[in-house]
Structure 1
Amino acid sequence: IPAVRTHPAVTGPYVAVSLSDTGSGIPPERLNHIFEPFFTTKEVGKGTGLGLSQVFGFTKQSGGEVTVESEVGEGTTFTLYLPRVSGASRKPADTVLPDILIVGHDTRVLVVEDNADVGSFSVQALIELGYLPILAANAGEALAELAKDVDGFDVVFTDVVMPGMNGVDLAKEIRRLHPGLPVILTSGYSHVLAQEGTHGFPLLHKPYSVEQLSQTLNVAARNRHGK
């Protein structure tokens, strides 16, 4: 594997798979961000920013690497370097997760996200971390869920940029209707928050890691219950 980003070159039996296109190319200033979760240049609701981050995660988990070469106006080439293995099956080593990942303990989370792909990704990640998430597609659905059983949730995790009522206004309404229920905001659009501010609600910037997500939700839930 050639030297990539901060990692030195690695020697060994690898298979390289390259995929090229003849599209518009990627500007140099964006090349260092394209593998970040939730990074996208598409309009709100048009892209999740999860595709390349999943490719990156797959190659890393496989012990490989992915590189990208691009020229604006000419096209882009992605190359995946995957370790070559023998035909003999190997028992995967047990993975020991850091303690910070195992902190859900049935904490009930209302996830508010209008993009179905991002919502599904967040819910699945929370389930794997030991949380009990419920997905609401917009602010109206979220308020309806809370009206039915506000005691059924320990924390609300909402995107900021949504059609209709945005996440900041939703958080303010939850604070008015259900004082004491913590609300965590998340967004990758800093200009929106620069205009409106967070009104005192904690913000988890996209892209965020599963460690950051778990820690933020756990702290909010524990503070509510005085633990």
Structure 2
Amino acid sequence: PFFTTKGVGQGTGLGLSQVFGFAKQSGGEIRVQSTVGQGTMFVLYLPRAEAAAHLPQAEPEPLVDGHGMCVLVVEDNAEVGTFATQTLAELGYVTVWATNAEEALSELAKDADRFDVVFTDVVMPGMNGIDLAHRIRRDHHDLPVLLASGYSHVLAQNGTYGFELLHKPYSVEQLSRLLRKVATWQRRKRIMGR
């Protein structure tokens, strides 16, 4: 389900993995039948559910104000990076955008103390987000890292190594809430002297 003709850094190529993830999260399944020269057929199975009109309406999660918190956003996809930085700025966060791990490490070398949290994609050309997170943990152990990925198979193979993970596609509310969570948790650790 994770096949793509796109190389790393040449677009997301997330279509099939997103469909696979949504089907599995819903308790469903996807079957693929492919024959060279004849084509491919996808069959999506989803469980029956009550009509939406009968379900109680959930309250939307409140947006969390960034209060000037500084976030280093590491994202190689221009559209996703623009969305993340603009959205966070509208919520009161200060953002710096790096398009790859090397740029992120350069920003951290200038002044790591200005950042409250690093928000990084996992799958990027060159150094990936997990390796970047390990490097940040080693060199700037008090700086929290939030990972983002739509490629669940990458993380299924290796895990998140204790880093918080935000699954793509994500909402503004989810991003804001998790940024506050990882930054607050790290602050508590510092206060407790761990």
Shift of 1:208: 1.0
User: Please, which of 134, 145, 150 is the counterpart of residue 188 of structure 1?
Assistant: 150
Q: Return structure 1 stretches of 4+ with deviation > 3 angstroms.
A: 44-49
* 2:165 corresponds to 1:203: yes
CA separation in 2, counterparts of 1:189 and 1:182? 22
SS in 2 for 1:225: helix
CA separation in 2, counterparts of 1:133 and 1:176? 23
Shift of 1:99: 7.4
1:8 is aligned to: none
Shift of 1:183: 0.3
Higher share in helix:
2
2:109 is aligned to: 147
Contact 2:164 2:182 in 1 (8 A): no
* 2:100 corresponds to 1:100: no
2:71 is aligned to: 109
Contact 1:48 1:117 in 2 (8 A): no
Query: Per the alignment, do residues 48 and 129 of structure 1 end up closer, same or farther by CA in structure 2, a change over 3 Å counting?
Result: farther
Code of the residue aligned with 1:113 in structure 2: it is: E
CA separation in 1, counterparts of 2:61 and 2:151? 30
Contact 1:171 1:183 in 2 (8 A): yes
SS in 1 for 2:180: helix
User: Please, which of 136, 158, 161 is the counterpart of residue 123 of structure 2?
Assistant: 161
SS in 2 for 1:195: helix
CA separation in 1, counterparts of 2:74 and 2:166? 14
SS in 1 for 2:96: strand
CA RMSD after TM alignment: 2.5
Code of the residue aligned with 1:179 in structure 2: it is: H
Contact 1:154 1:224 in 2 (8 A): no
User: Please, which of 38, 45, 48 is the counterpart of residue 9 of structure 2?
Assistant: 45
TM-score normalised by L of structure 2? 0.67
SS in 1 for 2:177: helix
Structure 2: gaps (5+ residues): 14-38, 41-59
TM-score normalised by L of structure 1? 0.58
> Over residues 155-189 of structure 1, what are the superposed CA-to-partner deviations in whole Å (9 max), with x where a residue is unaligned?
00000000111000000000000011100000000
Instruction: State which structure, 1 or 2, has the greater radius of gyration over its C-alpha atoms.
Output: 1
Contact 1:107 1:154 in 2 (8 A): yes
